[in-house]
Amino acid sequence: MIKRIIISGGGTGGHIYPAVAIANALKEVNPDIEILFVGALGKMEMEKVPKAGYHIIGLPIAGIKRELTLDNLAFPFKLIKSLLKAKSVIKDFAPDAAVGVGGYASGPLLMIASFLGIPTLIQEQNSYAGITNKLLSKWAKKICVAYPGMEVFFPHEKIKLLGNPVRSDILEVESKRDKALLHFGFKSTGKTLFVMGGSLGARSVNESVLKGLKRLAEGGYQVLWQTGKGFIDTASAAIKSLNTDQIKAYEFIYEMDLAYAVADVVISRAGALSVSELCLAAKPAILVPFPAASEDHQTKNAMSLVSQNAAIMIKDSSAAEELISTALDLLNNPERQQELIENIRPLARPTAAADIAREVLSLSDSPIV
């Protein structure tokens, strides 16, 4: 009998790519398994998931904004429509289990799945649980987490500490360095800084890099800069004015394994996915947590590394003055780089995706009540 699994959630790369990693791991265990994604209409999962080779259905769900808006007034109607759509999808697909990775769509989908007797699993990426996952935890059969101490959010008997699932191509990136240099057009003798602000970009990080771009160019450093959609034109114009071919800006980088492979130092936000990838890639990192993240969870993510002397953290409010100077210091300090590498490598969980896939499959073998 062919297994059917629904995976729901999204909104950002931090939710989407773990979901895809779980799907890929499930396919590795059982190539015949049928996987359906459910996301939120208009969100990036509707583009990224099909590119990963999976079918996705969108729900009309949206979040509640903190300020009073007309969109908030429409929320109850969107929620009801999403619940009805989720019920229809589940009835049609008849899944053996449902997985939620966080994000708007996972709420209605997992709620209906639970009410219909479908066993559910939650995968919480962050050190501070999201609202949706906290609400869903009472019905979930299992809750897979990436950080210890999550008993403050979830029933301890349901928790599995397995790490965050990341793309398998992040493993062994050092063997890809020559390929990465050729792909991005960098010199093997240059010191390379990789700047990533997450799938949607990061304004304070981008503006700090822009401010220090001339120093980087004059110092002969190579820069690989993922800007996000909103900053690519500004970055491209600034690079053109410096007349250098050793600073490259991209709206989005799909070849993340090559980006890590080419990097000597990485500047990054502290989303859960980025932190997990940095551990696997074992790269010296400067983390700039996004201060508006719910319950400041990115600072908590960053501190999980900083407390182990495995990364450097700079506050968002200090980035404009400190980020580039800190990056230059680290680029020119191979001893400090090696120290960070040695301390971050043991924090990696390379089998997380496979471990979570096994938990999902064990759920799908459970009798439906």
What confidence tens digit (pLDDT) does each residue in 13-39 have?
Answer: 788 989 999 999 999 999 999 999 999
Residue 224 and residue 227: Cα distance in Å, rounded?
10
8 - beta bridge partners?
A: 38, 100
CB atoms near residue 236 (< 10 Å): 16
Instruction: Kindly report, residue by residue over 132-162, the tens digit of the pLDDT.
Output: 899 999 999 999 999 889 999 999 999 999 9
What is the set of domains in the chain, with CATH numbers? Answer: 4-164+351-364 (3.40.50.2000), 169-347 (3.40.50.2000)
- Which parts of 128-283 are beta strand (E)? 142-145, 159-161, 192-196, 222-226, 247-250, 265-268
Q: What is the pLDDT of residue 151?
A: 96
Q: Which residues are annotated as a binding site for UDP-N-acetyl-alpha-D-glucosamine?
A: 12-14, 126, 167, 199, 253, 272-277, 298
Q: What is the pLDDT of residues 293-347, one digit of tens each?
A: 777 889 999 999 999 999 999 999 999 999 999 999 999 999 999 999 999 999 9
Structure token pair of residue 27: 């396919």
Listed residue (355, 347, 191, 183) closest to 281, CA to CA? 347
pLDDT given at position 153: 95
- Binding-site annotation: residue ranges: 12-14, 126, 167, 199, 253, 272-277, 298
CA distance 319 to 286: 11
Q: Which range is least confidently modeled, 208-212, 252-256, 334-338?
A: 252-256
Over the stretch 44-102, which tens digit does the pLDDT of each residue have?
999 999 999 999 999 998 766 556 666 666 778 888 999 999 999 999 999 999 999 98
Predicted structure pTM score: 0.86
Q: How far is CA 92 from CA 4, 6, 95, 164, 181, in A?
A: 11, 12, 9, 30, 47
Tokens, residue 343: 């301390």
Residue 368 has pLDDT above 50, yes or no: no
